[in-house]
Amino acid sequence: MRILICEDSVLLREGLVRLLEDAGHEVVAALPDTEGLAESVENTAPELCILDVRLPPTFTDEGIRAALGLRSTHPSLPLLVLSQYVEERYASDLIAAQGGPLGYLLKDRVADVSEFLASVQRISEGATVLDPEVVAQLLTRRNRDDRMLRLTERERTVLALIAEGKSNQAIAGLLFLSEASVEKHITAIFQKLGFEQGESGNRRVLAALAHIENYGGATPPTGQTGVTR
Q: What total number of domains does the chain contain?
A: 2
Residue 209, domain extent: 146-215
Tell me if 77 sits within 8 A of 67, measured CB to CB: no
- Boundary (domain end) residue, out of 116, 138, 160: 138
| Gap between the terminal Cα atoms of the chain | 42
Pair (80, 173) in one structural domain: no
Nearest to 67 by CA among 110, 102, 28, 32: 102
Pair (51, 126) in one structural domain: yes
Note whether residue 119 is domain-resident: yes
Q: What is the CATH number of the domain that holds 28?
A: 3.40.50.2300
pTM over 0.75? The answer is: no
Per-residue pLDDT of 21-65, as tens digits, reads 999 999 999 999 999 999 999 999 999 999 999 999 988 889 989
> For residue 75, how many other CB atoms are within 10 A of its CB?
11
List 63's β-bridge partners, or say none.
Answer: none
The CA distance from 67 to 63, in Å, is: 6
Pair (64, 157) in one structural domain: no
Note whether residue 225 is domain-resident: no
Per-residue pLDDT of 62-113, as tens digits, reads 998 999 999 989 999 999 999 988 777 777 778 777 788 999 999 988 999 9
